[in-house]
Every structure is written in structure tokens, then in C-alpha cells.
Amino acid sequence: MGVAALAAQKTRLPVGFVGMSAQTEDYADDNTYVSPSLDPPPTPHVFSVPHLYATVEATGPAISDFPLLFKALLDIGCPSTVISGSMATSLGLRRFPLPAEEDNLSSLTDGPIACCEYVKLVLTSGNGAWVSKTIYAKLCEALPVPIILGMPFLSSEQIVIDSDDRTAIQKSSGFDLLNPCIPERVWQPDYVTPPPTPPKPKRPPRVPFERVPPPELDGSHHSRRLMAAVQNRIERPENA
């Protein structure tokens, strides 16, 4: 953590050192002839490479709309996950007292780094394609980066870092924190106006009971065939 915090105070770019090649068919001085070199040019030596930063999002009580987007430093040399005081304040995270035995961080010069509180938060990446577990981060007011994701985070999330390919892939999901695959946005189809609903047929008006005609008991409203069958059954019950 000390190396990451010290390097983050001043951004430096990787610098390559190239050795000076021998002179080609030229004279080093007035009396000496230098023959052309047959050796291949030396390979550039890289003394510095950029840190591994993951673009993540977080929200908290102080965030009312979209999550806060920021860069998190991945550091396998940091034994803790540490968040800056300004980031915790921006998110409005609740602060909890840190156990005394966990106030154990120090810098390269063995100077103590005071951490008396901790916070809890959840990180997301790739527009919500990846969501972390609840992170317990020590709070350091003077931390020069928003958050350092140290060994507790990397081990609990099963993050495998490849410094050559510059990847940080979660073993369980295959999600790469350093190169997040943002899902394509699915556009909602154009709204189609449905056809108008046909009106329901109106009910016939109710007839008052006083105006209801008496029922026809003579069977005049039935067919002759039916009435003949009824009459036959009445007159000849033995045929039933």
C-alpha cells in the first residue's frame, strides 16, 4: 500500500532506456576507424509501467441519482482495502469504529498510517454487469487515491491479475475489471397504437315488474310437434 500511495502522489509515465548504438562507418576521432556493428540493437528496458486501475461505480446515502464513477487501484501488495476520507464523504457512507488491532498500516518509511474507522460499500462495473460483495474498507483521511482494493477484496472476489496482459478476471464469472464488457443497450421498440376497442352493446332497458306480461301457459309459443308429444304422454301414460 505504501508503494501505491507514494506513486499515486505524482503521476509518472513508463520510461524506456535505449542504449547508444555504435557509429556506422564513421570515425570516432581523427586517427581511429569504427567498423559498423553487426549486433542487433539492444532491447529497450522498461523501468516503469502504469498502475492497474479499475473503473467502478458506487452509491451511498449522499447519492440521489446515478452512481458515482471513479477509478480504484488494484494492489496485491496492500494487506487491506483502504478508502479515502473524501470518497467516503462524497458517498455519505456511515463510519464505524475500527478495532484497535486493525490500525496496523504503515508507509515505506515505517511511518504509521492512522486508520481509526471503516466503512461498508458495494462496487459495480460494466453498467451493473458485475456487482461485488459487501466491502469492508479502512478509512484513511490522507489517502491520495479514491480507494485501494487490496488483498481482502482480491481474495474474496477471486480476482486473478495478469500484469502482462493487464487483466483482472474474476474466476467465477470471467468478468474482467480492467477491461469491462459493457452489455449492449437494448432499445425499446417503437410504440404501436392498438386498434380502438369496439363499444360494448347496450343492455336493453329494464321492464318494470308491473309491465311484465303474464306467462303463456297454453303452449302457443311452442312448436306443434312438441305440443303433440306432450299431449300424447298425458293421454297415454303407459307409453312413457
Q: Which residues, other chains included, contact 17 with Cβ-Cβ below 8 Å and sequence gap of 6+? A: 44, 45, 47
**In the block, which residue shows the cell 299431449?**
231
Share above pLDDT 70 across residues of the chain, in percent, rounded to a whole number: 80
pLDDT tens figures, 12-30: 433 333 334 444 444 445 5
**Is residue 84 within 8 Å of residue 148, measured between CB atoms?**
no
Predicted pLDDT of residue 3: 44
In the chain the first and final C-alpha atoms are separated, in Å, by 105
What is the CATH superfamily name and number for domain 56-183?
Answer: Acid Proteases (2.40.70.10)
Angle, vertex CA 62, rays to CA 59 and CA 68, nearest 5: 35
* Per-residue pLDDT at 219 exceeds 60: yes
Cα distances from 122 to residues 57, 80, 83, 116, 128, in angstroms, run 9, 16, 12, 21, 11
> DSSP letter string over 102-150?
G--EE-TT--EE---EEEEE-EEETTTTEE---EEEEEETT-SSSEEE-
The pLDDT value recorded for residue 238 is 67
Q: Where are the domains of the chain?
A: 56-183
